[in-house]
Amino acid sequence: ILNVEQSPQSLHVQEGDSTNFTCSFPSSNFYALHWYRWETAKSPEALFVMTLNGDEKKKGRISATLNTKEGYSYLYIKGSQPEDSATYLCAFHTGANNLFFGTGTRLTVIP
């Protein structure tokens, strides 16, 4: 059982604010890190998959960075909008048919 930690557990931001949160994972035996976006009453949807140290991915106002040597990834949202309200999950892949998920960061964007 691997420990994947996400912080903070939840946060509230004003519309237009930029924000970021963290995913920490074991730095050994790294194969890939996934970020998912999970809206209430819907299914988790993939945002990014990252594999290389120093990798940076971007989709619209959302971006993510990866540091495999120290075992963390940051997710950034620029100019938060109410539709960004969701739980953001990260998941660590060990290469053995198993994704280990963090508990998520629940983001609420206040109009």
Residues that bind other proteins (CB under 8 A): 1, 4, 31-32, 34, 42-46, 49, 51, 89, 91, 93-95, 97-104
Nearer to other proteins, 80 or 105 (CB): 105
Which of 38, 30, 37, 43 lies closest to 70, judged by CA?
A: 30
Nearer to other proteins, 27 or 31 (CB): 31
Q: Could you identify the residue written with the tokens 């976006």?
A: 37
Nearer to other proteins, 95 or 111 (CB): 95
Residue 77, helix vs strand vs coil: strand
Nearest distance in Å: CB 103, other proteins: 5
DSSP letter assigned to residue 61: T
If you compute the radius of gyration of the chain from its CA atoms, what whole number of angstroms results? 13
Q: Are 51 and 32 in contact (CB under 8 A)?
A: yes
Nearer to other proteins, 5 or 15 (CB): 5
Nearest distance in Å: CB 70, other proteins: 19
Nearest distance in Å: CB 28, other proteins: 15
Residue 84, helix vs strand vs coil: helix
Nearest distance in Å: CB 92, other proteins: 10
89/35 Cα distance (integer angstroms): 6
